Structure 1
Amino acid sequence: MNQASLHKKLASKELKDLEKADPQALFEQRLHTNLPLITDLFNTLYPDPEHESHLKKLPGLLKSLFRKRPEELKIRDLNLLKEENWYQSHKLTGMQLYVDLFNGNLKGIREKIPYFKELGVSLLHLMPVTTRPKGENDGGYAVNSYTAVDPRFGNRKSLLDLTAELRENGMFLMLDFVVNHTSDEYPWAKKALKGEQKYQDYYYTFPDRTVPDAFEASLPEVFPATSPGNFTYRPEISKWVMTVFNSYQWDLNYTNPKVFSEMLANLVNMVNSGVDIVRFDALAFLWKEIGTISQNLPEAHKLIALFRMCLQVVAPGVIFLAEAIVSPHDIVKYFGEGKLQGNECDIAYNASLMSLLWNSIATKKTLLLQKSLKNVPQKPDSCTWINYLRCHDDIGLGLDDGYIAQLGLDPWMHRKFLIDYYCQGLKWSPAVGYKFMENHATGDSRITGSCASLLGLEKATRNGDAAAVETSLAKIMMLHGIILSIGGIPFIYAGDELGTLNDYSYLEDAHKRNDSRWVNRPRHNWDVVSQLNDREKPSSRIFEGLKKMIAQRKKTPVLADHNNLEIHDPENPHLFVFERTGKGRKGILVIANFDEHPRILDIRLLDDLGYLKDGRVKDLLKGEEWKLTSGLVELGPYELLWLIKP
């Protein structure tokens, strides 16, 4: 059984009246109900008798960490536990942003809470705000501390003030926990570089190339262009250190139980600042084993579950997001399988949906989208997705080669077409994107660029092509309307709500110019925001359109995620049709046209599903009901409908 559901059931009497609830007694209850699973997971990962002492210390560590949790957050935990699966609500819409690029610092984020509320955003994902190396730092993912706020963003009080105000406004916060590695400036790494064996054992360090070469035989390279290989030689200690991501990011050695205990303490100290969702960064890489690619290993799943079960004891309101950009069949494993089902991560990125949507824009067809989504394994009822079009990272083409081949296409040639389409390899393409981590030997590449530029707004604006601008705006609204309705938490990347174009200023920064992902990491344009009253501007039309759709989403309970998604066959390769089902006559049918030409849908599908009455249909987005005059529904280019049952 999902442990969170078990805790709610056991605490149901106390949760009815929170004023009478005893947080300490409920902690003891959670500790004892989770301890058998915690013990089993620990013993599986650390079976050697020498590790038994660490297991014996774990209950005491959990008690100590609970004592340090602020009382206000203990009560918030109980409120969220009472709501149960609050993260599946139709009232949630998220935004991801860089603090400094959005509005300077944490105080600046506080000042913009009214802006978030106007748009309808109720969940913020702030990119890393902790201290990091001054030079290259992987956008803050090379951490010098898990709790100390980088002075450029403020200080610990700035963060606490922000989280308190977010709670007052009914909003939620997500922060990253960089669980796989630290920077080489982290205190443990510094001590390791001074020769302290204890801390060298916190990482993977080797005196010669024997073991590194054994690893390299099967390890892929994450950043082959900028950081080839998976080990870095450090002359200070005459040792090779495992650095899978970048030379300045040292992989933590979780085969050492001391690392787990100390990282658990780091995790709790971080969430004690008022974090509601922990983005578990690079979790697929947590366990390393020679002869494997050291990704998605069974031990990694057990380690994630061990973190989850321990955090659930201390802070049951806090949940995990899996940052694993892998195939649909692999990503659902991060929700937990077997006795761990629902006991690993509560949320995962729907990266497959993202890449499939971009594929459909380029091809103007939805066959691969339909086929792929119909074959996604069912996730646990207690879990949900984050649905997004863009994030701070690149777009990987994680498409299923088998499904591509079934459509009569060559997978390699199809990917080459997509790369050319989005990365200016085809003169007729409206997209303005760039290649990221191109492999010249294989021709493979990832794609980067802002949502609006990839959807044609940059090129249309540059050419003064009014018709192309309209087409781009229609694409932008259609794709956002899909992620707002398909099931999960919709996330907007900051700037996309304004149609922000590619930012080329990164080319002037020596620490950024070699990473094309920065083209999609613009400074928020508050001058554009100040002109939102000019309703004719593309930025204003996008903002108002998203605001309207988010508001409609919040008024539509059937859009809450209860595994109530059904994909329908529109018998038209350019249309995408799905339904969010509800009890009785509740339900929404979403229809999207991915073509630049009008396309038709047979009304028999609407009739069979109950969305047609007396020849009439009603669209929530337009707020209109109209009578169909033929046996076909015509959708304009890139038109989107949210139909409800009359």
Structure 2
Amino acid sequence: MTDRSGSLLELLEPLYHDHPAWLEERRAIARMIDDAASTRSSILRAIDAERARQPAWFGAPDMIGYSFYVDRFAGDLAGLRDRLPWLEQLGVRLLHPLPMTRSQAEDSDGGFAVADYRAIEPALGSLEDIRVLAADLHHRGMALAIDCVLNHSARDHAWAQAALAGDKEKRAYYRIVDSEGEVAAWEADLDDIFPDTAPGNFTHEPRLGGWVWTSFYPFQWDLNWSNPAVFREMLGVLLFWANIGVDIFRLDSAPYLWKRRGTASRNLPETHALVAALRAGLDAVAPGVALLAEAIERTADILPYIEPVTGTRAAQLAYHNGVMAALWVALATGDGRIVGDLVRDTALLWPDTAWLHYLRCHDDIIWSALNGQVKPDELDRISDFYAGAGGFADGRRFQARSGAAPSTVGMLASLVGTEGPAAVGRYRLLLATMLALPGMPMLYMGDEIGLPNRADTSGLKDARWLHRPWMDWDRADAAAVGNGPGADWLALTRRLIAVRSRFPALDAKALTAVQNDTVGLLVVERGTGGETVLLVANFGDAAQAFPRAGDWIDAIDDRPIGVTIAGGTVVWAVRDV
């Protein structure tokens, strides 16, 4: 064995040194690291070396992500490869198919109840299809992101089934408590994630003789990360997929890994240490592979996943759900300053980190991300607004934790007014603003053609399926030739992405300065010297004075900017030389 696992084991030692199996697990982890390193292909090692020269490669101006369900977008993995030209023409360089691993046989929470971490859902294809897809993407200068569901497995998983059958080793892979009293003691400090559809955090399993921890749904059993065998198993999953060709792992449910009595068991220091250890394990084998933390929390609680105060390398990317929610708040209130405040206050300093920015995704808009920045009654009003209370939006309310504003579900197009010039104008305001902020942008399937909410919502057990429609390829094909209701959306999306790719000032690591002194107006300067781009977004109704002297051109439309910026409009201003 080599010493390539040394830094990883140092990070794990404080977590596991008292565990009776730790010495054995140390040796097993070191062997696994060596085996994975020896089998990494020369092609993938070359990609690692190239990315070492550009550590924030995912933040390049032309790096645009696209998130989707494979079956709803293209049927299966073979169909997805057939649709790559569409994504290339859109300007996408990173594909994020939502969970593709084999999932629970019945309800699987959209694939997030994983029954086999190393197998593909049979209806989608095979492992070989993933190898071929990854190689094809790399040949095209594109990249692949996949989900790694860290917090829980499906009840259908072989580990859980072995535990149900009496296997003591696999029983220790899960958090199981013996009595209702112990359940109550834990619950006193825990939140309900799905209070309407899955209240509580424990599920009674008679065959286990106790209650298994189920933070999300009863069929999703929380893994016991205080057991070093679980760490070994899950790091092994990351290394397995990294050697197939995956470029980014989305660490699903990252905040929930470590549990401690008397706390909310979210965002604990031990959890941050685990993420850092996963990073160290990848660094030993596949250093060019990035980690994306899915921590839908207050911004202050997200920062330790990406730039921890310990200085330890952790995830390179994290969802900036605060900025996402703030953009929707700005649209509803007519004041963009909240976005500027967040951008200014969450500047990242390390050379290999970036925020992931987005407008919509497969999940709900969680307004509690802005607790402490927006008053609770205002968040309630905004939640009502996007649920259709007297405005242009056609979303729905979604369950919320106690004391929080209900979340919002709905496709982007439906939330901005569904169709017509006004809706497209709001889309332009949001998309152009998001694309100019410091970070890596991620689009959501169908937003580029203004795809509205699902028409058939009968029998939905989970309201989030409202914004998980099937891709409308008739609408898309018509839009591609300038016809139909999706044409303006597609033309705008392609234009913005193409223009963005030309400006080094819009790299995630380019300097950023926020001017936030005018009600309604968001002003963000990107880059330095002659390479600057000035984002000016007027979320209000009234025209505002352009905040700079001299002659400027809007790079989006390649036309001069006047002395004012009309209400509800946005420009990427560059100096007219």
The reply to whether TM is greater than 0.5 is yes
Residues 443 and 266 (structure 1), Cα distance of their counterparts in 2 relative to 1, 3 Å cut:
closer
Q: How far off is 1:572 after superposition?
A: 3.1
Instruction: Specify the alignment match of 1:445 in structure 2.
Output: 406
* Alignment counterpart, residue 523 of structure 2, candidates 577, 580, 583: 577
Instruction: Specify the alignment match of 1:590 in structure 2.
Output: 535
* Residue correspondence of structure 1 range 123-162 to structure 2 within 5 A: 123-162=94-133
**More deviation, 378-387/184-193:** 378-387
**More deviation, 145-154/203-212:** 203-212
**More deviation, 388-397/535-544:** 535-544
Instruction: Indicate conservation of the 8 Å contact 1:371/1:403, yes or no.
Output: no
Instruction: Specify the alignment match of 1:599 in structure 2.
Output: 543
Residues 52 and 96 (structure 1), Cα distance of their counterparts in 2 relative to 1, 3 Å cut:
same
Residues 141 and 401 (structure 1), Cα distance of their counterparts in 2 relative to 1, 3 Å cut:
closer
Instruction: Specify the alignment match of 2:426 in structure 1.
Output: 475
- 1:258 partner SS: helix
- 1:240 partner SS: strand
Alignment partners' CA distance in 2, 1:222 and 1:379 = 32
Instruction: Specify the alignment match of 1:307 in structure 2.
Output: 278
Q: How far off is 1:84 after superposition?
A: 2.7
Q: How far off is 1:379 after superposition?
A: 4.4
Alignment partners' CA distance in 2, 1:365 and 1:472 = 18
Instruction: Specify the alignment match of 1:486 in structure 2.
Output: 437
Instruction: Specify the alignment match of 1:82 in structure 2.
Output: 53
* Alignment counterpart, residue 113 of structure 1, candidates 71, 75, 84: 84
Instruction: Specify the alignment match of 2:163 in structure 1.
Output: 192
- 2:258 partner SS: coil
Q: How far off is 1:185 after superposition?
A: 0.8
Matched, 1:422 2:386: yes
Alignment partners' CA distance in 2, 1:568 and 1:294 = 38
**More deviation, 316-325/156-165:** 156-165
Cα deviation per residue 1:561-594 (whole Å; 9 max; x = unaligned)?
115111113x431211111022x32100011111
Q: How far off is 1:436 after superposition?
A: 0.9
Instruction: Specify the alignment match of 1:520 in structure 2.
Output: 467
Instruction: Indicate conservation of the 8 Å contact 1:327/1:398, yes or no.
Output: yes
Q: State which structure, 1 or 2, has the greater radius of gyration over its C-alpha atoms.
A: 1
Q: How far off is 1:533 after superposition?
A: 4.9
Alignment partners' CA distance in 1, 2:534 and 2:231 = 46
Instruction: Specify the alignment match of 2:493 in structure 1.
Output: 546
Q: How far off is 1:438 after superposition?
A: 4.7
Instruction: Specify the alignment match of 2:24 in structure 1.
Output: 53
Matched, 1:497 2:448: yes
Alignment partners' CA distance in 2, 1:380 and 1:543 = 35
Instruction: Specify the alignment match of 2:183 in structure 1.
Output: 212
Matched, 1:530 2:459: no
Give the TM-score, by structure 2 length.
0.96
Cα deviation per residue 1:147-173 (whole Å; 9 max; x = unaligned)?
211111011122222111111111100
What letter matches 1:589 in structure 2? L
Residues 563 and 330 (structure 1), Cα distance of their counterparts in 2 relative to 1, 3 Å cut:
farther
Instruction: Specify the alignment match of 1:456 in structure 2.
Output: 417
- 1:139 partner SS: coil
Instruction: Indicate conservation of the 8 Å contact 2:384/2:397, yes or no.
Output: no
Instruction: Specify the alignment match of 1:345 in structure 2.
Output: 315
Alignment partners' CA distance in 1, 2:229 and 2:341 = 45
* Alignment counterpart, residue 62 of structure 2, candidates 91, 99, 111: 91
Cα deviation per residue 1:414-452 (whole Å; 9 max; x = unaligned)?
12211110112x23x01000011156x757311000101
Matched, 1:318 2:286: no
Number of equivalenced pairs: 575
Residues 533 and 232 (structure 1), Cα distance of their counterparts in 2 relative to 1, 3 Å cut:
closer
What letter matches 1:586 in structure 2? E
Instruction: Indicate conservation of the 8 Å contact 1:130/1:145, yes or no.
Output: yes
What letter matches 1:622 in structure 2? D
Instruction: Indicate conservation of the 8 Å contact 1:332/1:379, yes or no.
Output: no
Alignment partners' CA distance in 2, 1:400 and 1:87 = 26
Alignment partners' CA distance in 2, 1:474 and 1:545 = 10
What letter matches 1:413 in structure 2? D
Q: How far off is 1:606 after superposition?
A: 1.0
Alignment partners' CA distance in 2, 1:188 and 1:118 = 43
Instruction: Indicate conservation of the 8 Å contact 2:115/2:157, yes or no.
Output: yes
Instruction: Indicate conservation of the 8 Å contact 1:394/1:436, yes or no.
Output: yes
Structure 1 residues without counterparts, runs of 5 or longer? 1-26, 405-410, 462-468
Instruction: Indicate conservation of the 8 Å contact 1:438/1:445, yes or no.
Output: yes
Structure 2 residues without counterparts, runs of 5 or longer? none
Give the TM-score, by structure 1 length.
0.86
Cα deviation per residue 1:275-303 (whole Å; 9 max; x = unaligned)?
10000111100100110000000000001
Cα deviation per residue 1:8-35 (whole Å; 9 max; x = unaligned)?
xxxxxxxxxxxxxxxxxxx96xx54x62
Q: How far off is 1:370 after superposition?
A: 3.1
Cα deviation per residue 1:356-415 (whole Å; 9 max; x = unaligned)?
0000111111233333433336443320011100000000113544443xxxxxx23212
- 2:101 partner SS: coil
Q: How far off is 1:555 after superposition?
A: 0.9
* Residue correspondence of structure 1 range 327-406 to structure 2 within 5 A: 327-341=298-312, 343-376=313-346, 378-404=348-374
Alignment partners' CA distance in 1, 2:159 and 2:371 = 43
Instruction: Indicate conservation of the 8 Å contact 2:48/2:287, yes or no.
Output: yes
Instruction: Specify the alignment match of 1:20 in structure 2.
Output: none
Instruction: Indicate conservation of the 8 Å contact 1:179/1:280, yes or no.
Output: yes
Instruction: Specify the alignment match of 1:23 in structure 2.
Output: none
**More deviation, 204-213/484-493:** 204-213
- 1:58 partner SS: helix
Alignment partners' CA distance in 2, 1:443 and 1:77 = 43
Instruction: Indicate conservation of the 8 Å contact 2:248/2:289, yes or no.
Output: yes
* Residue correspondence of structure 1 range 618-637 to structure 2 within 5 A: 618-625=553-560, 628=562, 633-637=563-567
**More deviation, 102-111/429-438:** 429-438
* Alignment counterpart, residue 38 of structure 1, candidates 8, 15, 23: 8
Instruction: Indicate conservation of the 8 Å contact 2:475/2:485, yes or no.
Output: no
Instruction: Indicate conservation of the 8 Å contact 2:504/2:510, yes or no.
Output: no
What letter matches 2:450 in structure 1? G
Identity between Structure 1 and Structure 2 (%): 31
Instruction: Indicate conservation of the 8 Å contact 2:61/2:500, yes or no.
Output: yes
Alignment partners' CA distance in 1, 2:340 and 2:357 = 16
